[in-house]
Amino acid sequence: MKTFSQWQLRAEFARRLSDMYGREVPAYTTLVDVSRQVNAEVLERSGAEAERFGSIARVTAERHGAIRVGTPAELRQVARIFGALGMHPVGFYDLREAAASAVPVISTAFRPIEPAELARNPFRVFTSLLTPADPRFFDDDLRSRLETFLAGRELFGPELIELAERAEAERELPEDAGERFLELAVGAFELSAEPVDKAWYETLAEVSAVAADIGGVRSTHINHLTPRVLDIDALYQAMTERGIAMIDAIQGPPRWDGPDVLLRQTSFRALDEPRRLRLPDGSVTTGVLRVRFGEVEARGIALTRKGRARYDELMAETDRDTAELGREEAARAAWRDGFPGSEQGLAEAGLAYFTYRLRADRPRRGRPPSSLAGLLAEGWIEAEPVVYEDFLPRSAAGIFQSNLNGEGRRDNSREGVRYDQDWLSGAIEREIHDPFTLYERRQRASIAALHLPGPLHSL
Ligand code: OOG
Ligand code: NI
């Protein structure tokens, strides 16, 4: 009998979720279509160069999603479902601090961590947890009403959780069980038809639209699904030409002549969707809520800690110079002066991660040089960029904006629970992997696998 391995479950889950979301949010389908067109054009224009950051098969199937849950117990269930798919929590993001768009959540991303698994299917899900014990957002009364409401709902049924545990433990499922698991898992993230309690939803929306989205309803849903595109500037223009209004701009590094770095993203605002609302007198009416939106992204090279610090400085410099030069010009100037314009420059300055491998046409005689720089220069090895698999807090804060109408309400004078990475890891009851460590390990493993004689100096 056929079985589903973990990666097959992951790829199948991503595909079925995408089909479901496309039926529910037609603008998403437009985004996927336009991404495909743009990718085909880039492939034609640049050939093999276009696949430096992943094969076209990987990139075409590649998606990330975002979900939001209310309690540590719900988050642990999510971790089991993603664990079944070979996805592990990586990185910690605190979106409560973001200046203009603070939202009461902390987040991590579930994704594969092994290179072979990423190559098979890199599906990742940005996962946020509400922070009811942050008194800047919730007073004691609202916090306790919220916690009572959340304790009384069930997002994932026992059958789904049991199948997830089995898939995680056995690293595969027989065909029937796999089919059932996929059906239940995709179903858990569909938008529910159950009426929404209007007064309760609005109470939370006064604090934050994101709080209402998470804690104002008795179910959860995928709130966006993001295809990957090889030229995000071309995509932005094509979407605008089709009359779809995107958020102000593209988040992340600017368009420039140097290597693609980290992550660039853009999105369109949440759309009006008809929903059934329950009024205080018990009657049900139809209204509109805006909870789901579309996003698209381009991925580039993963930066080292040092590279990331440089990146953060350049973003700050861009902010400072924006008033004078305009954002695009300020960004271009900062990057031109402050960042290497080539992959080689990035490698030499230790700003980005690469994997190295022996070249087929390397010299067959003589002693190989004893440094990576020498090996590269004399044609013994070649470097391949490591693609960035994670998210950026600032872009994430920008993406949350797609859900926000007003600023919400916040009282900065009070302090509460310290929601840091250790706290989140304790809540999930799993280790949260450090993204830099994962990239570093990958670079090291590739150097070790060169099996060159003698000690090797790094660049
Ligand atoms: C998640 C926002 C973060 C991204 O791509 O940075 C995100 C959310 O809206 O729940 O998806
Ligand atoms: Ni996203």
ipTM value, please give it. 0.99
Which helix (H) or strand (E) covers residue 119, if one does?
A: helix 115-120
Dihedral, 417, 421, 422, 424 alpha carbons, nearest 10: 70
CB atoms inside a 10 Å sphere around CB 300: 20
User: 264 vs 110, 232, 261, 310, CA distance in Å?
Assistant: 19, 8, 8, 17
Structure tokens at 39: 């990718």
- Interval between CA 82 and ligand 1 midpoint (Å): 17
Q: Which of 126, 214, 299, 394 has the most ligand 1 atoms within 8 A of CB, as the residue to mutate?
A: 126
Q: What is the mean pLDDT of residues 339-345?
A: 94
**Of 26, 77, 78, the residue nearest 271 (C-alpha):** 26
Q: Which two tokens stand for residue 274?
A: 């008809």
Dump pLDDT digits (tens) for 82-96: 999 999 999 999 988
Q: Which of 155, 108, 67 is nearest to 429 (CA)?
A: 108
- What is the predicted pLDDT for the residue at 458? 61
Q: Which of 224, 229, 232 gets mutated to test ligand 1 (max ligand atoms within 8 A of its CB)?
A: 224
Most confident of 184-188, 237-241, 391-395: 184-188
Place of tokens 């102000």: 248
Q: How confident is the model at residue 202 (pLDDT cuts 50, 70, 90)?
A: very high
Split at pLDDT 50, 70, 90, the class of 122 is very high
Nearest CA to ligand 1 atom 6: 396
Between 254 and 389, residue with greater pLDDT: 389
69: β partners: 129
220 CA distance to ligand 1 middle (Å): 15
Q: How confident is the model at residue 398 (pLDDT cuts 50, 70, 90)?
A: confident
Q: What is the pLDDT at residue 411?
A: 63
**Which residue carries 């990586």 as its tokens?**
90
Residues with CB under 6 A from ligand 1: 66, 68, 126, 128, 223, 265, 295, 391, 395-396, 399-400
Task: Please report how many Cα atoms fall inside a 13 Å half-sphere around the Cα of residue 413, on the Cβ side.
Answer: 2
The residue-averaged pLDDT of 235-243 equals: 86
Rg (C-alpha) for the chain, rounded Å, is 23
3-302+390-428 CATH choice from 3.40.50.11890, 3.10.180.80, 3.30.70.100, 3.20.20.70: 3.10.180.80
Express each pLDDT in 157-198 by its tens digit: 999 999 999 999 999 999 999 999 999 999 999 999 899 999
Query: Residue 51's Cα: distance from chain center in Å?
Result: 21
Model pLDDT for residues 442-458, shown as the tens digit of each residue: 999 999 998 876 666 66
Closest C-alpha residue for ligand 1 atom 10? 66
Predicted pLDDT of residue 313: 94
Q: What is the pLDDT of residue 414?
A: 59
Q: What is the mean pLDDT of residues 57-72?
A: 94
For atom 5 of ligand 1, which residue has the closest CA? Answer: 396
Distance of CA 33 to the CA centre of its chain: 20
Distance 267 CA to ligand 2 centre (A): 8
**Whether 393 contacts 109, CB under 8 Å:** no
Lowest-confidence segment of 104-113, 275-284, 331-340, 445-454 by average pLDDT:
445-454
Residue 254 has pLDDT above 90, yes or no: no
Q: Is the pLDDT of residue 224 over 70?
A: yes
What is the C-alpha to C-alpha distance for residues 291 and 391, in angstroms, rounded to an integer?
Answer: 21
* The pLDDT of residue 167: 98
| Cα(403) to centroid(ligand 2), Å | 12
